[in-house]
A and B are shown apart, each in its own frame.
Chain A
C-alpha cells in the first residue's frame, strides 16, 4: 500500500535522501505561490472575509496546504539512492584447443568431439543457446590465445594448455567489467598451474564470474605415465649419474613393467619393476653412464599396457649435453706424498679429467706434473685469479698456512663461490687444523668444523658410509649401477686430522671409527656459492689401491677419486654459459634462452662479441639475436619458437676484448606434444576450485547445459546512483484532490460556494 502510494519500496526511503530541483523558473513559481499565499491570507482575514473566525481559519488552512503541496510538486522532488543494478553484458567462452582434448575417454566420444558438438560458434548446441541470450564471444587457447570466428573449426593441435595466460587475457580486457560470465571448456590438464591462482584472482577483481565445464574422465581405467624425470642437463664424459624417475599409474597395481632407457635410440638400460597400489607414485633411481661426448637424446619409456587408451604419456624425453673437453684439476701439495702418485694413477685413464700436480719438493721449489706448457704455474702457487680460475677444481693437500696465506685463501674462496670451482681439502700433517687453518678463510668455506687447535693424533680407522649414504652416487665404487658392499674388506686409512663435526649444510658421506665412540668425518661436502667444497681428511687414501688386502683388479680407489673430482668439478662452468629452457619442449613452444658472458676472472663481461646459432633437426643453421639484459651485466636473453620436431643444438660463441674465443653449447629435445599428454585426466577439483573462487560453478560435460541458468543467476551487477522522481507519486495527487474537495464541500456547507 505504501509502495503504491509513494511508488517505491519503503527501504528506499530509509536509505535514500530527498533532493529538490531549484531551476530559475521554480524561483518565479515560488515567488508567485508566496504571493498567492499572501493574497489568500489577506483575503481570508481582510474586511470582506467570512464572518466566522472558525471558517476563516479552516478555509485558510486548506488553501494554504493545497498551495504548499503544489509548490512541493513544482520543486520536482526526487529520492536519491545507490543500487546494484543487474548488467546484461557479454559472455566469453574459453575453449581448450590442445591435443589432450583428443583423448577418447567420454565413453566412445573424444573430448574434442563433445566440444565441437556443443561449442562450435553459431552451430553448437550450447553455443546457440548462449548466443540467443547473450552477446557471446569465443576464444580458443593452447600455447596462445586467439579469437574463434563463427563457424571456425577447432584443430585441437596445441601442444600446451596455457590456461593462466588465457584467463589473464580475459581479466585484462578493457571491457572485463561488462562481462556477464566466462565459460571455460577444458580438461583441466593445464600448465603454469602456479600462475593460475594469480589469473583467477585478477578475474575475481574484475568482478567476472567463471563457470567451468570439465571435459574428460577424471580417472582413466588403465594408464601408466612417466610423470617426471630429473637428469642433469650437462654431464662429464664417463659420468655415472642417477636419473630420478617418477611413474604414476591407474588400474595396473601389481603388474610388472619394464622401464626402458634409450640413448640415441639404442637401449642402454632396462629395469623391471612392480607397480604399487593405485594412486601411489613409484620413484626410482636409474644409474646411467655417458661415454659419448656431445648432445645425447635420452628417452625413458614404458611399453603400452593392456587397456591403455592414452599412450602418449608413456615416455619422457630429455637432452643431455656430455662435455667433451676434460675438466682441469689442480692438485697442490706442500710436500712430496704418495697421494700425488696414486691420485694421478687413479684418474690417468679418465679422459674427462686432466690433472695438474704442483708439489713443493724443497724450499721455494715446486715440481709440476701434467702442465700444458712451460708457463703454466711457473711461479709456483697460482698468484692471480686468472691463473687459478683456469682450473675447474683444486685439491689442496698437506700445505700449511705459512705457504697458503690469507690472500691465496681468499682467492680460493672466490674460486669456489664466484667461479663455481670445486675444492677438495685432503688430509695430511699440514692440513686442516694441523696446517694452521682453524681461524682461517679456508675454515670458513670447509664443510667440516675444524678443531680450535692442532692436535697430535694418528689413528688408522676403518671407513664406512654414514647413515643412509651407502647408495650415495659418490660411493658408486664397484660398478655404476651397484651399491658398493665391500667396506669390511677395505684396509683402514690413516687419519692425522681428527674432525668429528660437519657443518649444518654439509653432507657427510663417509665416517671413520677410531674407537672413541664419536665417529670421524672421512668425507663430507657442501655447496658454497656456485661451487662445491669437499673435505677428505685422510692421509693415505692410496692404501685402498696399494694394500695387500686389496686385489689388483679392485677399482675402489680409482672410482672414489674419479667420482669425487667429477662431483666437485661438474658445477664449474665456462666463461660463456648458455641456458635453454625447457629441456623437453613442444612443437611451436617458445624457448627461453639465457646467455651469460664472463671475463677471465669470471666477472660479468659487458663488451663481448656474441653469436648464438641454432642447428635445427633438418640441419639448418639459424642466427638468433640476443638482447642485452637491462638489470644484469653480461646477461643476454632471446626467445626461440620451435618449428621442427627433434634435437635443436644451440651454440654460443664469445669473443672477448682480449680476442680469446670461447664456445658453449647445449641442446633441447622438441617433441610433437611435449608434456601435453602428461597428467591429462580431467582435473575436476582444480576447475571446481577456480570456478568457486569467482563465485561460479563447475559442471561436468554431461551437465554442461546448466551453465546457462548459472549465468542468469550470477550475472554481473554495477552500483549506480539513482534519482527517483516523486512528483507523480499517487499520494501527492490524491492529497491535492482531497484538499480541493474538502474546501469545496466546506464552502458549500457554509453557503460560500
Chain B
C-alpha cells in the first residue's frame, strides 16, 4: 500500500494550503489575542463530545511528581495554553473540525473512549495504576492514538518504559522511520528536531538532562499501525505554548506545529 499527498493546485505550488512561514505572522497575532483573554479551561470534570470531529484531549494522571510544588501537576505542564494555541494552528492550517478549547480527561475514565486522540506529557512522572494501565491498553487497542511529549533523559525514558510495560507487557518501543506516513500525512517532515523549552530556546544547549538526541519512537499494533507516538528529548508543547513569544525561534514552533498537525491527521486516518 502506498501513501501520497496531492496538491490540486499543481506541482509548482507549495504542497499545502498555507505555508507555515506565511501563516506565522497571522498566528502570532491570533495567539496574542488568546493570551489576552482568560483561559476558559474546562478540565475540571466538564465533559464534551459529539459537537466536533476533533478534540485535543490531554491525559490527566497521578498526583504531584517532580517539581509539582513549583509548576503544578505534571500532566498540566503548559496547560491549557499549549493546547489551545496548537488548536489555533490546526484550525487555521487545515479543515479539521476541531474544538478550539482544551479537553483534559483522566486516563482511566470511561469518557476518554469518546476521544480517540490523546496527548500526554512529562511522562517521567507517569505512574499508572493497574486499572489505568488496563484502561489505557483497551483505549489504544480499540483505536485510540496517544502522543507523548516533553520528557527528557535516561531516567524519564526508563520510567516511561516501565509504565508502558504495564500497558503492553509484550510490545516493544521502536524508532519511527522518517518515511513513515506519520511524517508525511500533511507536511513532509524530513528531520527530527530537538525542540527546546522556552528558557533554553533563547540560546545555549537545547537539551535537558542527558537527552541530547531527540527521538520519535512508537508502539505499533498487530497490523503495523501506530498506537503510541513518543517524542523523547524534545518539547513540542513549549513550542506551541510560546509560539507567540517574539523571542521563541520560529524554526522550532514551525516544526512543532508541522509535526503536531501530522500527528492529528495520522491519528484520524490510521
How far apart are the CA atoms of A212 and B93 in the complex, in Å? Answer: 86
**Does B36 make an interface contact (CB < 8 A)?**
no
Task: List the B residue with the shortest CB-CB distance to A383.
Answer: B8
Given the contacts A336-B53, A336-B94, A342-B143, A363 and B268 also touching, CB distance less than 8 Å: no
Instruction: Kindly provide the distance from the CB of B180 to the nearest chain A CB, expressed in whole angstroms.
Output: 14
Is B53 touching A335 in the complex (CB atoms < 8 A)? yes
Contact of A365 among B8, B113, B142, B269 (CB under 8 A): B8
Given the contacts A362-B93, A547-B114, A378 and B141 also touching, CB distance less than 8 Å: no
Is B142 touching A545 in the complex (CB atoms < 8 A)? yes
Q: Which residues of A contact B50 (CB under 8 A)?
A: 458, 460, 494, 539-540
Q: Which residues of B contact A357 (CB under 8 A)?
A: 269
**Does A56 make an interface contact (CB < 8 A)?**
no
Given the contacts A335-B53, A366-B8, A547-B114, A552 and B138 also touching, CB distance less than 8 Å: yes
Task: List the B residue with the shortest CB-CB distance to A428.
Answer: B53
Is A362 touching B95 in the complex (CB atoms < 8 A)? yes
How far apart are the CA atoms of A378 and B2 in the complex, in Å? Answer: 13
Given the contacts A344-B270, A361-B265, A374 and B2 also touching, CB distance less than 8 Å: yes
**Does A703 make an interface contact (CB < 8 A)?**
no
How far apart are the CA atoms of A369 and B1 in the complex, in Å? Answer: 8
How far apart are the CA atoms of A357 and B181 in the complex, in Å? Answer: 14
Given the contacts A340-B269, A365-B17, A552-B141, A458 and B51 also touching, CB distance less than 8 Å: yes
Q: CB within 8 Å of A: which of B1-23?
A: 1-9, 15-18
How far apart are the CA atoms of A345 and B226 in the complex, in Å? Answer: 12
Given the contacts A341-B268, A360-B95, A336 and B54 also touching, CB distance less than 8 Å: yes
How far apart are the CA atoms of A71 and B21 in the complex, in Å? Answer: 134
**Does A78 make an interface contact (CB < 8 A)?**
no
**Does A11 make an interface contact (CB < 8 A)?**
no
**Does B97 make an interface contact (CB < 8 A)?**
yes
Q: Which residues of B contact A413 (CB under 8 A)?
A: none
Q: CB within 8 Å of B: which of A540-561?
A: 540, 542-543, 545-550, 552
Is B1 touching A364 in the complex (CB atoms < 8 A)? no
**Does A287 make an interface contact (CB < 8 A)?**
no
**Does B148 make an interface contact (CB < 8 A)?**
no
Q: Which residues of B contact A361 (CB under 8 A)?
A: 94-96, 185-186, 265
Task: List the A residue with the shortest CB-CB distance to B52.
Answer: A429
Task: List the B residue with the shortest CB-CB distance to A539.
Answer: B50
**Does A368 make an interface contact (CB < 8 A)?**
yes
Is A364 touching B95 in the complex (CB atoms < 8 A)? no
Q: In this complex, which of A344, A363, A371, A374 has the most chain B Cβ atoms within 10 angstroms of its Cβ?
A: A363
How far apart are the CA atoms of A370 and B3 in the complex, in Å? Answer: 7
How far apart are the CA atoms of A540 and B97 in the complex, in Å? Answer: 13
Q: CB within 8 Å of B: which of A333-349?
A: 334-338, 340-342, 344-345, 348-349
Q: CB within 8 Å of A: which of B209-267?
A: 223, 225, 264-265, 267
Contact size class for A? 35 or more
Is B142 touching A546 in the complex (CB atoms < 8 A)? yes
Q: Mark A456-490, 1 if CB is under 8 A from B, else 0.
A: 00101000000000000000000000000000000
How far apart are the CA atoms of A362 and B2 in the complex, in Å? Answer: 20
Is B143 touching A367 in the complex (CB atoms < 8 A)? no
Contact of A341 among B3, B94, B143, B186 (CB under 8 A): B143
Q: Mark B155-177, 1 if CB is under 8 A from A, else 0.
A: 00000000000000000000000
Q: CB within 8 Å of B: which of A613-667?
A: none
Instruction: Kindly provide the distance from the CB of B8 to the nearest chain A CB, expressed in whole angstroms.
Output: 4
How far apart are the CA atoms of A367 and B110 in the complex, in Å? Answer: 31
**Does A43 make an interface contact (CB < 8 A)?**
no
How far apart are the CA atoms of A539 and B5 in the complex, in Å? Answer: 25
Given the contacts A336-B269, A543-B114, A379 and B95 also touching, CB distance less than 8 Å: no
**Does B80 make an interface contact (CB < 8 A)?**
no
Majority secondary structure of chain B interface residues (helix, strand, loop or mixed): loop
Q: In this complex, which of B6, B54, B116 has the most chain A Cβ atoms within 10 angstroms of its Cβ?
A: B6
**Does A373 make an interface contact (CB < 8 A)?**
yes
**Does B59 make an interface contact (CB < 8 A)?**
no
**Does B144 make an interface contact (CB < 8 A)?**
yes
Task: List the A residue with the shortest CB-CB distance to B10.
Answer: A364
Given the contacts A338-B268, A367-B269, A546 and B143 also touching, CB distance less than 8 Å: yes
How far apart are the CA atoms of A371 and B4 in the complex, in Å? Answer: 8
How far apart are the CA atoms of A302 and B99 in the complex, in Å? Answer: 62
**Does A372 make an interface contact (CB < 8 A)?**
yes
Is A364 touching B17 in the complex (CB atoms < 8 A)? yes
Instruction: Kindly provide the distance from the CB of A343 to the nearest chain B CB, expressed in whole angstroms.
Output: 10
How far apart are the CA atoms of A549 and B111 in the complex, in Å? Answer: 10
Instruction: Kindly provide the distance from the CB of A454 to the nearest chain B CB, expressed in whole angstroms.
Output: 15
Q: Which residues of B contact A370 (CB under 8 A)?
A: 1
Is A337 touching B268 in the complex (CB atoms < 8 A)? yes
**Does A359 make an interface contact (CB < 8 A)?**
yes
**Does A377 make an interface contact (CB < 8 A)?**
yes
Given the contacts A334-B95, A336-B265, A338-B53, A547 and B113 also touching, CB distance less than 8 Å: yes
Q: Which residues of A contact B268 (CB under 8 A)?
A: 336-338, 340-341
Q: Mark A673-692, 1 if CB is under 8 A from B, else 0.
A: 00000000000000000000
How far apart are the CA atoms of A378 and B7 in the complex, in Å? Answer: 8
Is A374 touching B4 in the complex (CB atoms < 8 A)? yes
**Does A382 make an interface contact (CB < 8 A)?**
no
How far apart are the CA atoms of A532 and B54 in the complex, in Å? Answer: 31
Is B143 touching A545 in the complex (CB atoms < 8 A)? yes
Q: Mark B41-61, 1 if CB is under 8 A from A, else 0.
A: 000000000110110000000
Task: List the B residue with the shortest CB-CB distance to A349.
Answer: B223
How far apart are the CA atoms of A368 and B17 in the complex, in Å? Answer: 16
Is A364 touching B5 in the complex (CB atoms < 8 A)? no
Given the contacts A374-B2, A494-B50, A367 and B186 also touching, CB distance less than 8 Å: yes
Q: Which residues of A contact B111 (CB under 8 A)?
A: 548
Q: CB within 8 Å of A: which of B79-104?
A: 93-97
Is B96 touching A336 in the complex (CB atoms < 8 A)? yes
Q: Which residues of A contact B96 (CB under 8 A)?
A: 335-336, 361
Is B265 touching A548 in the complex (CB atoms < 8 A)? no
**Does A276 make an interface contact (CB < 8 A)?**
no
**Does A573 make an interface contact (CB < 8 A)?**
no
Q: Which residues of B contact A367 (CB under 8 A)?
A: 5, 185-186, 265, 269
Is A364 touching B8 in the complex (CB atoms < 8 A)? yes
Instruction: Kindly provide the distance from the CB of B261 to the nearest chain A CB, expressed in whole angstroms.
Output: 9
How far apart are the CA atoms of A369 and B264 in the complex, in Å? Answer: 15
Q: Which residues of B contact A529 (CB under 8 A)?
A: none
Is A366 touching B144 in the complex (CB atoms < 8 A)? no
Is B8 touching A429 in the complex (CB atoms < 8 A)? no
Is B95 touching A336 in the complex (CB atoms < 8 A)? yes
Instruction: Kindly provide the distance from the CB of B54 to the nearest chain A CB, expressed in whole angstroms.
Output: 7
Task: List the B residue with the shortest CB-CB distance to A374.
Answer: B4
Task: List the A residue with the shortest CB-CB distance to B90.
Answer: A336
Q: Which residues of A contact B270 (CB under 8 A)?
A: 341, 344, 369
Instruction: Kindly provide the distance from the CB of A614 to the nearest chain B CB, expressed in whole angstroms.
Output: 37
Q: Which residues of B contact A378 (CB under 8 A)?
A: 4, 6
Instruction: Kindly provide the distance from the CB of B220 to the nearest chain A CB, expressed in whole angstroms.
Output: 14
How far apart are the CA atoms of A458 and B51 in the complex, in Å? Answer: 8
How far apart are the CA atoms of A429 and B96 in the complex, in Å? Answer: 12
Task: List the B residue with the shortest CB-CB distance to A460.
Answer: B50
Residue ranges of A at the interface with B (Cβ–Cβ < 8 Å)? 334-338, 340-342, 344-345, 348-349, 357, 359-374, 377-380, 429, 458, 460, 494, 539-540, 542-543, 545-550, 552
Give me 6 other A-B pairs in contact (C-beta within 8 A), A335-B95, A336-B96, A377-B6 excluded.
A341-B143, A363-B17, A365-B17, A368-B4, A369-B270, A546-B116
Closest 3 CB pairs of A and B: A362-B17, A548-B110, A548-B113
